[in-house]
Amino acid sequence: MKNKGLIFDLKKFSIHDGPGIRSTVFFKGCPLNCRWCHNPEGLSFNREVMVSNQRCLADCGECLQICPEKALTKDKEVIVLDRDLCNACGLCAKACPADALQMAGRRVRVDHVMSELAKDAIFYRDSGGGITFSGGEPMAQIDFLHELLLASKKQGWHTAVDTCGQALFADFAKIMPLVDLFLYDLKIIDAKKHHSLTGVSNDLIKENLTRLSRDARSLAIRIPVIPGSNDSKTDMEQLADFCASLPRVHPVHLLPYHPGGSGKRKRLDQTEPMPLTRPPSAASLQKIKNIFLRRKLPVTIGG
């Protein structure tokens, strides 16, 4: 267990990332840059400082004194972080008594992650749960992921990998014997729209999904429903047709958009790319669900 990896969260008692009660390890860094991403702190492959001015203590100033790069200043009681100067050393976050400054990303060893996961082993066993590796994109840290999967299987835990699919298939083949369930994100079929909304082509993503459909032990397809981006009748029919064309039938989960990433983007000094987008209505989700049902696909809203 010599590999270290960069993660930004380890969530306990998760019930939306696979069967049963699970722990989800969130890897930092993703090859996609989806405009609707609800974990924007997981996009960069570098550590970052997140700033919450509403938590800042007006008469404190500890962070200003301790920053070795002088990257922090205050303007009318508002913390201003010069990200060009900041080297993400984390000293300011450690010194802040109110958690107004927090680090997104920490470098951890496999044995450290495993010791945290083991604390909840009884819940995995009793609920039929296990461990999910998510992100960001776990496939982007394949050696670290591989060691975590090996260690998890030695414990007898159910394993799931949540992936956007943008990785070499050789890497999928490397971990496939250790993965009980792939949670595979499929966003849109139209190539130009996919590139516009995520920053990458979907050729490799579709190819990998087709191959995993044939070879993986178990696979579920996750489709985000983003109003104004991929929720048109044409887009959803294309997605449903592609799912129906796969070598095996897999459950499909429609994941309604929610604006949970907006506050995080503000804390990272990022512009919100979809400020007017709202969650889809129940009626529109049912219409989309019917598109998949007409193709005899097992589909649920959420999950």
The pLDDT of residue 257 is 97
Q: Within 13 Å and on the Cβ side, how many CA atoms surround 19?
A: 15
pTM of the model: 0.95
The CATH homologous superfamily of the domain defined by 4-44+108-301: Aldolase class I (3.20.20.70)
The pLDDT of residue 221 is 98
Strand (E) or helix (H) holding 124: helix 121-127
CB 136 within 8 A of CB 163: no
pLDDT along the chain (303 residues), means of 10: 87 94 98 96 98 91 95 90 96 95 97 97 97 98 98 98 98 98 98 97 98 98 98 98 98 96 94 94 98 98 91
CB neighbour list of residue 160: distance below 8 Å, 6 or more residues apart: 17, 18, 22, 130, 131, 132, 133, 179, 180, 181, 182, 183
Question: 261 is written with which tokens?
Answer: 């990433």
Give whole-number Cα distances, 293 to 74, 214, 275, 288, 300, in Å: 55, 22, 32, 9, 10
Q: Within 13 Å and on the Cβ side, how many CA atoms surround 47?
A: 16
Closest CA to 107 of 132, 88, 81: 88
Which CATH code is given to the segment(s) 48-104?
Answer: 3.30.70.20
Closest CA to 24 of 164, 155, 134, 100: 134
CB 42 within 8 A of CB 182: no
The pLDDT of residue 59 is 85
Domain regions of the chain by residue span: 4-44+108-301, 48-104
CB 30 within 8 A of CB 135: yes
Q: At 291, give phi and psi (nearest 5°).
A: -60, -40
**DSSP state for residue 189 in the 8-state scheme:** S
The pLDDT of residue 110 is 97
Q: Give the whole-angstrom CA distance, residue 71 versus residue 74.
A: 10
Q: Give the whole-angstrom CA distance, residue 273 versus residue 40.
A: 11
